[in-house]
Structure 1
Amino acid sequence: MCMWLDNPDRSGLVGAERVADVERITRALRDFLPGGEGITRVVPLTTGFSNETYLIEGPDLILRLPPSAGAMLDGHDVIGQARIYQELGGREDAPRVPGVVAVCGDRAVLGVPFFVMERLAGEAIDDLDMQPWFADAGDDLRADICRQWVSVFAGLSRVRPLDVLGPVVAPEDDARTWQAFARKADSPVLAALFDRLLAVPAPCSGPPALIHGDSKLSNIMWLDGRVNAVLDWEMALNGEPLANLGYMLHALESDYHAATRAFKLPGMLTRGEVIALWEQVSGRSADGVFWHEIAQMGKLAAIIAEGANMFSSGRSSDPKLAIFARSVDYYIGVMQAMLDSGGY
C-alpha cells in the first residue's frame, strides 16, 4: 500500500525486481510520484548496509530505500522509519524532522518498500571529513555547536514515548537485545561481557521518554550554525533517557577511550561539561549513567562485530565493513575495561 499527501488511492505503475540502478529508479518515480515529470535525475548520497539515501533532483526530495547489502538492524525497515518521522512531525514536543511526502510498501513500484521525504537545508558534520565551517571555525562556534547537540538529545528526556515505537523497553531488555546481536555476530566474548553488566540492575532517572538510539553529532542537520533537523531514527525506542547520554559519551575522551575526531578540536565540551548540561536541560540526574555508558559501548561493539561478520562471511562487500573488522577488538576491550573499573 502507498500513501500520498494529496492522493491516497494512487497505485504503482511500474512492476520491477529489486531496483539497483538509478536510471530505473528515476523512470519509475517519474511515473509514480505526483509531479514526478519534474524529476531530472536521482543521485545516490549514501548506500551500503544502512538505509540508503538518494536525492531526487527537480522537486528536491529525498528517497530512502532498504540497504542493498542487506539490513544489519531491524530498525532499517524503511516503512517503520517513515512512521517515526510522521509521528515526530505531528508532535509539538519533538525536534524538527523532514516531512514525509509518500510512504510505499508496494514492491511493484521499485521492487522494495520506500519512502520519500522533503529535503531540508543544511548539512551534517562529518567526523571523518569535517567541513571547514566547523573545523576551521573559532572555539566559540564549536562550543555553541556542542551545547546545541547536548541540548537536542537531552531535550528528548521531556518527549513522551511515541505510539509508533510500541511499549517501553527496559534498559536491561535493550541490553539483552544487543547481547543476542553479539551472539548472532559470533562474538561469545562480547556476549559474556553483557552478562557481567546485566548482573547489576540499571539505574533510572525517572519516567520513560523518547530515545534516539544513535545520538551522535553527525545525526543533526546544521544550517548557519543552528540545528535544523534531527535525522536517522533507526535505533529509536521508548525507554530510559540515560541511554541517550551514555551513547553520547562514547564520543568524548575518558579514562577508557579517546575522543572522536570532532571532539578533539578546541572549544568542544568536556565529558563533565556534557553531563552537567544534560542534567540542566533534561531536569534529571545523571547519577548511574556509567551503567548506560557501558551498555551503549556494548551496543556499538555488537554492531561492529556484526558488520565484521557480514564482511568476513561474504554477506557484504561494503568497504566500510572492512574497517569494522579491524575495530571490533578495540571496542570489546573498551567495554571490558569499563566493566573492570566499575566492579561489574
Structure 2
Amino acid sequence: MEVTPESPAATGLADGVGAVLGAALGATLTEVRARQLTGGASRQVYAITARDDTGAARQAILRRDPPGHGDARRMRAEAACLRAAATVGVPVPGVLGNGDTAPGIDAPYLLMELVDGESIPRKLQRDPEFDELRPGLVAELGRVLGLIHRTPLDDLDMLDDGDPVASVERIYRDLADPRPAVEMGLRWLRDHAPAARPNALVHGDFRLGNFLIDPSGVRAVLDWELAHIGNPIEDLGWLCVRAWRFGAPTPVGGLGERDALLDGYESTAGVRPDAAELLWWEVFGTLKWLVLSRFQAQRHFGGEERSIELAAIGRRVCESEYDLLLVLGLLDESVVLPDPAEPAATVQDRPALTEILELVGRTLAEEIAPALTAEAQRQRYLLRICGNLLSIATRELRAGDTATAHVHDLLAELGCDSEADLAQRLRDGSRSYTDPGVRRAATTAVVARLGVTDPRRLRRS
C-alpha cells in the first residue's frame, strides 16, 4: 500500500511514530508527519517531522518492515549493530528507539536520528560539491570499514554466522530457477576458496547508496539489515562489485581504485588482503547480488508482496549475470546476436504496439512527472520504474524471437534442451564452466536478455 502524507494510513503512522518519538525525546509532539522516501525494496523508510512542546522542530528517520511481512529478529539485530558500531567510532545514526511493533506503526521498526548528507551515487560521483573530497573518499571508506570490523561482537550473538556461499546457494536453490551463470560462479568459488580469517562484524551491504556523505566526509553508514558475522573481506569485495559503480569506470564504487581502498582499510584494520582474495569476494558479491535480485523479484511473483518495484528487479537479474561472467573472465567477447527478423504484417492500425508503448512512456515522463509536487518523490520514483518497464517492453517487441532461437541452437549443440538443463549439467560436473561452448551459450543468453533490459550496460563493459 502506498502511503502519502495525506492518506489515512499516513495519519495513523504519524500518530504511532509521534508517540514513540515523543517518549524517546521526553517531549509531547504535535504536527507529526511521515513522508515515505524513495528506495528501500525490502524495508520502508520515512522522514518524520514534528514540533515539540516548545515549538521547536524535531526530525527523525523511521525504518519499518512492510506491515504483515515483518522480521522482528532482524530489526532488533540492526538496532544492536548500530549501537555496537558507534562504540568504536563508526559514523552511524543514533538509535532513538526500536521495537517489534507499536500502535500505528504496526510492524517491526527502528527510529533513528536524522543525519544530513548525500546518498545518491551519481551525485557523489559527479557533483562539483564533492570535487575536493572525492580523491580521498575511497580511502576513507576503507578506514570506516576497518572500524566496522573492529566492532566488539559481545552483544551481537543474534547475528547469523553461517557459511555465506552456502547461504546464498540455499536461497538460489529454493527459487527453483536454475541458471548457468550462477552454477559457473558457484563452481568457481569452490575451486578458488581463500583461507579463512577471524570472524568480524560484516555490514553486508557496504556500498554507495548506503552512506550519507557531505563535503567533510562520511557522516553515516546506513542499512545494516544484512549484517552478519563472517569474513571481513566480504565487505571490501562487495564495495567493488560492478553494480555499485553505477556506470562509472573505476572499480570501487565508481570513485577510485582498489589500492586506495586497501590503504585506508589497512590503516584501521591492520590487515591487507591480496588481489586474489579480494577478487574472490568480488565474485561472491556479484553472485550474491544476482541471487538476491531474483529473490526480491520472487516476493512479487510469489504473491508475498505485490510491487512494481520488486517485479522490475526481475528484469535486472541479467545485469548481474553479465557482471558475473565478466568478473570471472568467462564472458565470450566474440558473441554477436543475429539481427531480429522483420515483423510480420498486421491488420491493426497505427499506432503500432511499440509506438503505443513509446507514447505512453513519453507522456508519463513529459506530462505527468512534471505535474507532481516536490513532495511526491515516491511517485516520481515509481513513474521512472514504469517508464523503464515500458522501454523494456518496446525493445523486446522489436527484438522478436530470433535471439531466443539462436540460444536454443547453441544449447542443442551442447546436448541441452534448455538453460536449466545446462545449469544442471554444470552443477553435476558433466559440463565444465571453462568449456568454450558452455561459455558461448551462457554469454549469448545473458547478452540477449541484457540487450533488451539495458543495452547501455553492454557498451559500458
Q: TM-score range by the shorter chain?
A: 0.7 to 0.9
Paired residue for 2:246? Answer: 260
Identical residues among aligned pairs (%): 23
Deviation of 1:165 after TM superposition, in Å, equals 4.4
Paired residue for 1:214? Answer: 205
Distance 2:188 2:221 in 1: 30
2:81 aligns with one of 74, 81, 84: 84
Paired residue for 2:63? Answer: 64
Distance 2:38 2:73 in 1: 14
User: 1:27-49: CA deviations, max 9, x gaps?
Assistant: 23344532243343122124653
Say whether the 8 Å CA contact 2:78–2:227 is kept in structure 1: no
Deviation of 1:211 after TM superposition, in Å, equals 1.0
Paired residue for 1:284? Answer: 271
Deviation of 1:98 after TM superposition, in Å, equals 1.6
Distance 1:337 1:211 in 2: 25
Q: Which amino acid in the other structure matches residue 177 of structure 1?
A: S
* Distance verdict in 2 for CA 1:312–1:214, change over 3 Å: same
Aligned pairs (5 A) from 1:119-268: 119-124=114-119, 126-127=120-121, 130=123, 135-137=127-129, 139-161=131-153, 163-166=155-158, 169=161, 173-189=163-179, 192-193=183-184, 195-200=186-191, 202-204=193-195, 206-251=197-242, 259-261=245-247, 268=255
TM-score by length of 1: 0.76
Deviation of 1:282 after TM superposition, in Å, equals 2.9
Distance 1:81 1:40 in 2: 25
Paired residue for 1:27? Answer: 15
Structure 2 counterpart SS, 1:163: coil
Distance 1:20 1:263 in 2: 46
Structure 1 counterpart SS, 2:194: coil
Deviation of 1:258 after TM superposition, in Å, equals 9.4
* Distance verdict in 2 for CA 1:291–1:48, change over 3 Å: closer
Unaligned runs of 5+ in 2: 1-6, 51-57, 331-432, 435-461
Paired residue for 1:96? Answer: 91
Distance 2:28 2:82 in 1: 22
Q: Which amino acid in the other structure matches residue 119 of structure 1?
A: L
1:295 aligned to 2:284? yes
Deviation of 1:184 after TM superposition, in Å, equals 2.7
User: 1:125-146: CA deviations, max 9, x gaps?
Assistant: x125x269x5234754321223
Query: Where is the helix percentage greater, Structure 1 or Structure 2?
Result: 2
1:304 aligned to 2:293? yes
Deviation of 1:186 after TM superposition, in Å, equals 3.0
Q: Which amino acid in the other structure matches residue 105 of structure 2?
A: L
* Distance verdict in 2 for CA 1:280–1:118, change over 3 Å: closer
TM-score by length of 2: 0.58
User: 1:144-203: CA deviations, max 9, x gaps?
Assistant: 223322321233333343532447736xx1111111111233332265345414533632
Deviation of 1:61 after TM superposition, in Å, equals 1.6
Unaligned runs of 5+ in 1: 1-18, 252-256
Superposition CA RMSD, Å: 3.5
User: 1:264-290: CA deviations, max 9, x gaps?
Assistant: 69x931234434543454322312222
Distance 1:258 1:67 in 2: 25
Paired residue for 1:114? Answer: 109
Give the greater-gyration-radius structure (CA): 2
Structure 2 counterpart SS, 1:202: coil
Q: Which has the higher contact order (CA 8 A, sep 6+)?
A: 1
1:328 aligns with one of 314, 317, 324: 317
* Distance verdict in 2 for CA 1:259–1:40, change over 3 Å: closer
Deviation of 1:306 after TM superposition, in Å, equals 1.2
Q: Which amino acid in the other structure matches residue 278 of structure 2?
A: V
Structure 2 counterpart SS, 1:334: helix
